[in-house]
Amino acid sequence: MLHHLIRQAAEHGFPESGFAPGPLPAPARRGFLKAIGAGAGVLVIGAHLPMPALAAEAAPKIIGPADPRPHAFIIVAPDNTVTVLAKHLDKGQGIVTGLATIAAEELDADWSQVRGAFAPADQKLYANHFFGLQGTGGSTAVANSWDELRMAGAAARAMLVAAASARWKVPAGEVTVAKGVVRHAASNRSATFGELAEEASKLPVPQQVKLKDPKDYVLIGKPDLHRLDHVSKTNGTAIFSMDIRRPGQVTAVLARSPRFGGTVKSVDDAAARKVPGVIEVVSLPVGVAVIAKNTWAAIKGREALTVTWDDGKAETRGTDAMLADYRKAAEKPGSVAANKGDADKAIADAKAKGGDAVDGEFVFPYLAHAPMEPLNAVVALNPEGGCTIWAGSQFQTVEQMVVAQILGCKPEQVKIETQWAGGSFGRRATTNADYIAEAAMIAKAYPKAPVHLVWTREDDIKGGRYRPLFLHKITAAVDAKGELVGWKQRIVGQSFMAGTPFEAVMVKDGVDATMVEGASDMAYPVANLAVDAHTLASPVTTLWWRSVGHTHTAYAKEVMIDRLAKAAGKDPVAFRMAMLKDHPRLAGVLKLAAEKAGWGQPLPQGKGRGVAVHESFNTYVAHVADVTVDAKGQIKVDRVVVAVDCGEVVNPDIVKAQMEGGAGWGIGHALRGEITMTDGVVDQANFDGYLPLRMSDMPVVEVHIVPSHERPTGAGEPGVPTVAPAVANAVFSVTGQPLQTLPFSRGGIVS
Amino acid sequence: MVRINVNGEERQVDVSDDMPLLWVLRDELNMTGTKFGCGIAQCGACTVHVDGTPTRACQTPVGMLTPDSKITTIEGVKGKAAQAVQAAWQKLDVVQCGYCQSGQIMSAIALLTDNQNPTDQDIDAAMDGNVCRCATYVRIRAAIKDAAQTMRA
């Protein structure tokens, strides 16, 4: 749902109406070939080719440039390397490898010659077709690039074949390509890609290409393909933006208001300026920046600052008070997100006629993303105007527009060197460029040297853009036959789309789509469904967080389903399966996970098994979790079985890794993750308070992938939503107590 | 001026004694393989070896070290355990974002140098101080066992 809405936003005037002071950036004037350093003898191939009809619902509508400028994705160099440019950020999900695999497959390159690189920021060339702007999110990267990169690969292959055909004076139809070698069997001649690159680069890009039959794939779907970053990330040589060192570079840290919405009232920087290594202190609308020779001096300088904050517009409530306000709001109807049949009547009828109704109140805390690499960016102003940014950039187009506004230049003068990102989980994809905008403001105030803005971990944990605090109130009923007949759900929380350029299309009739996705559109065919929502405002900043609305909607739904199954006297898997007749892919993953986990086999005393199933981002996932509940009532997650259907799988080992990581992400936060506030000040500061999942918490994870030739979807986010409810349902099977307040540590069942 | 020995080389840095080794490595010596993750020894991203002992560089003031303290970072780590660990990490494609992995690998090398047949409990004890937000723990555990097997062979 999310990316369809963003796409709709893009088609209806976003982002012209939002970020930019003027119209969309003009097409880049600089030659792209020059920009990527390509010279003579290099074949650069683009995918600006006729696109095949895209049938599936999940297919992106291509919002590409109408003009025939090169749309470069593949560079075949004379040294026989093939570099595939990734327009998407790799923050660990392995997309550089995945995208390179797609192109290399059609090219028939040998995997050992394939390299990956990040594309420059250029909306015209590299817009995400789902969004209309260059950016990564919503598990869209493979789905977005699937057609474009296969066509680019096939076109490059055809050009290499044509070059060989011309060189050897043989029919192109007799030339074959395999593992990076072009061959003419009859005359026993062969050439590498590198040897043919120059000749191929002079040939026209074919307008029609034939794509492979999936049965002929030699790279796509193969389990033994290594990630392109598996060596550099094990020997310390991979460069993150944290590791960028430009000549003369200075480091800045920023003192921000301890309360969200607070502003600087007064600053005494005398002591800070005396700290050895501190160069400058500047007051900005976003806080007070201390600029220093190195990170340590900057941190010490900030500690020596005395800043008085104006809390006139700040959030001064604690999270307990906020939750009390949420409960009060929940007493009244909210804006309607779904309304089918008559839920009130269906629930009343069920109760009156031998059925059963179940009430649940669910509380989900604020959660920080806390990627391992604390947020940071290097900004260097360029003498000709504009700047260069080194960052783990996730929304390049937004960052170009915002920084252009700050510096008073054109968006295309904001060059971005995207780096490997040390995690994101949604944190780097912001609607106002956030930390990159801060870095640009500091660079503008201190133009003498490249500025590296570094957030400390404390800045990160206290810095907001959290998964919002949510309250759900649900009443649902099964009739005397044990059929689900009515469902009434009220969701209360903040909207992170409100007040952004996305609001016009993401918020419809007072409902933010990201608050109710997974609830208002649930797959279970309940005839009487009423879902409404209250959006409450607060200066506390919030954001999408790995799997977005599904982080809470899937949890509430799947825990309620187990309670309803129990009320109906039915087995949790059988109860779900009976309701998924019209959803074969959901039923498929549920069946697969249940079978592989040994569902139905008896468990020893104190052991529990739970299940959950959900669709998110067009991917279908089921989890079965096994837990141990000890004599004190404390739990340990022993094993998780995952079944996933994400269509055609480009790299099964990376999908498996995303399911393993998604399980850890979901479990870690369900066990102990929460951001709380006292009088508006965040209580946690670092990993000693915001407790991450650790090695000893991690269960065994078994991943089963449904074989499929459906269009590929995504794997980064969909592995999250169902794991926590599966664990909760496993505990419920032992204790009979539904876990409805997160994290579980709040209920004392996690040490 | 502080004198330290990093990866077998003597280095002189003009910093105050209280600067953590982490920032000396990263900002003064431009050795960026050792990562900043939390600054309070809660995540292990900055793990280096000091005389073979896994040590959080973010909580090690450089003045506490002597010129005789042998500091080993991811850039300079070598030997049987290092080879086995890095090979296993690559074989099993452990990494995702990779930011924590220098620290994970330094902790794993220290574990396997002392114990070439670690149990799951040994792995938990040695590795619980190293956080991975991508939750690559399943593969870290498998890679440690794989490396241990290589070393025993």
- CB contact set of A39 (below 8 Å; sequence gap of 6+): none
Q: With a cut of 70, say whether residue B22 has pLDDT above it.
A: yes
- Pick the residue from chain A with its C-alpha nearest to B44: A372
pLDDT, residue A72, reads 72
- Min mean pLDDT across A17-31, A154-168, A662-676 is at A17-31
pLDDT tens sequence across B88-111 = 999 999 999 999 999 999 999 999
Contact A701, A656 (CB under 8 A): no
Which residue, among B13, B34, B38, B130, would best test binding to A if mutated, counting the most A CBs under 10 Å from its CB? B38
Length of chain A: 751
The reply to whether A231 falls in a domain is no
Helix A550-568 and helix A723-735, axial crossing angle in degrees, nearest 10: 30
A561 shares a domain with A436: no
So where are chain B's domains? 2-72, 80-152
Smallest CA-to-CA distance from A491 within A465, A513, A523, A466 is with A513
- Min mean pLDDT across A202-211, A259-268, A734-743, B29-38 is at A202-211
CB spacing of A698 vs B138 below 8 angstroms = yes
Smallest CA-to-CA distance from A563 within A551, A572, A555 is with A572
Q: What is the span of the domain harbouring residue A652? A: 319-367+466-747
A521 shares a domain with A662: yes
Smallest CA-to-CA distance from A86 within A98, A78, A69 is with A98
CB spacing of B134 vs A661 below 8 angstroms = yes
Which residue, among B43, B97, B119, B127, would best test binding to A if mutated, counting the most A CBs under 10 Å from its CB? B97
| 3-class SS of residue A528 | strand
- Pick the residue from chain A with its C-alpha nearest to B127: A695
Q: Which amino acid is at A349?
A: D
Q: Would an 8 Å CB–CB cutoff place A240 in contact with chain B?
A: yes
Beta bridge pairs of residue A531: A338, A489
| 3-class SS of residue A172 | helix
Run of H or E including A418: strand A414-418
pLDDT, residue A71, reads 46
CB spacing of B95 vs A230 below 8 angstroms = yes
CB spacing of A229 vs B98 below 8 angstroms = yes
The reply to whether A226 falls in a domain is no
Smallest CA-to-CA distance from A429 within A89, A64, A58 is with A89
Q: Which residue has the tokens 């909760």?
A: A728
> A502: pLDDT confidence band, cut at 50, 70 and 90?
confident
* Tokens of residue A203, six digits: 């040939």
- Pick the residue from chain B with its C-alpha nearest to A639: B138
Q: Would an 8 Å CB–CB cutoff place A224 in contact with chain B?
A: no
Rounded mean pLDDT of chain A?
Answer: 90
Say if the ipTM goes beyond 0.85.
yes
Beta bridge pairs of residue B3: B12
Domain boundary among A454, A484, A514: A454
The reply to whether A382 falls in a domain is yes
Does domain B80-152 fall under CATH 1.10.150.120? My reply is yes
- Min mean pLDDT across A142-146, A216-220, A323-327, A555-559 is at A142-146
Q: With a cut of 70, say whether residue A695 has pLDDT above it.
A: yes
- Radius of gyration from C-alpha coordinates of chain B: 15
Smallest CA-to-CA distance from A229 within A390, A90, A429, A102 is with A90
Domain boundary among A434, A454, A474: A454
CB spacing of B97 vs A92 below 8 angstroms = yes
Counting one residue from chain A and one from chain B, the pairs whose CB atoms sit within 8 A come to 172
Smallest CA-to-CA distance from A108 within A44, A168, A192 is with A192
A482 shares a domain with A395: no
**Left (φ > 0), alpha (ψ -120 to 50) or beta: where does A522 sit?**
beta
pLDDT, residue A130, reads 86
A208 shares a domain with A355: no
pLDDT tens sequence across A415-438 = 999 999 999 999 999 999 999 999
Q: What is the CATH number of the domain that holds A103?
A: 3.30.365.10
In chain A, which residues have their Cβ closer than 8 Å to the Cβ of B73? 236
pLDDT, residue A125, reads 86
- B117 vs A635: CA distance, rounded Å: 28
Q: With a cut of 50, say whether residue A21 has pLDDT above it.
A: no
Mean pLDDT of the region A649-663: 98
CB spacing of A701 vs B138 below 8 angstroms = yes
Q: With a cut of 50, say whether residue A26 has pLDDT above it.
A: no
Which residue, among B46, B138, B139, would best test binding to A if mutated, counting the most A CBs under 10 Å from its CB? B138
- Min mean pLDDT across A74-78, A257-261, A474-478, B15-19 is at A74-78
The reply to whether A221 falls in a domain is no
pLDDT, residue A41, reads 61
A600 shares a domain with A576: yes
A514 shares a domain with A441: no
A275 shares a domain with A196: no
- Radius of gyration from C-alpha coordinates of chain A: 27
The reply to whether A692 falls in a domain is yes
The reply to whether A461 falls in a domain is no
Q: With a cut of 80, say whether residue A44 has pLDDT above it.
A: no
Mean pLDDT of the region A743-750: 91
- Pick the residue from chain A with its C-alpha nearest to B140: A695
> A43: pLDDT confidence band, cut at 50, 70 and 90?
low
* Tokens of residue A138, six digits: 């919503």
* Tokens of residue B65, six digits: 């070290």
Helix B137-152 and helix B120-127, axial crossing angle in degrees, nearest 10: 120
A380 shares a domain with A361: no
- Min mean pLDDT across A139-143, A728-732, B4-8 is at A139-143
pLDDT, residue A244, reads 98
> How many DSSP H helices and E strands does chain A contain?
20, 29
| 3-class SS of residue B20 | strand
- Pick the residue from chain A with its C-alpha nearest to B88: A234
Domain boundary among A432, A454, A476: A454
How many Cα atoms are found within 13 Å in the side-chain-facing hemisphere of A540?
31
- Of B20, B37, B101, nearest to A233 by CB-CB distance is B101
Q: Would an 8 Å CB–CB cutoff place A93 in contact with chain B?
A: yes
CB spacing of B136 vs A373 below 8 angstroms = no
Strands A484-493 and A528-535: parallel
A332 shares a domain with A292: no
Name the strands in the sheet holding A528-535, side by side, starting at the edge strand that comes first in the sequence: A335-340, A528-535, A484-493, A470-478, A356-364
Contact A650, A221 (CB under 8 A): yes
Does domain B2-72 fall under CATH 3.10.20.30? My reply is yes
pLDDT tens sequence across A578-599 = 999 999 999 999 999 999 999 9
Contact B123, B111 (CB under 8 A): yes
pLDDT, residue A751, reads 73
A423 shares a domain with A408: yes
Q: With a cut of 50, say whether residue A39 has pLDDT above it.
A: no
pLDDT, residue A205, reads 83
Return the higher-pLDDT residue of A69 and A367. Answer: A367
CB spacing of B95 vs A229 below 8 angstroms = yes
Q: How many domains does chain A have?
A: 3
pLDDT, residue A607, reads 97
A637 shares a domain with A508: yes
pLDDT tens sequence across A279-289 = 999 999 999 99
Beta bridge pairs of residue A391: A418
A112 shares a domain with A201: yes
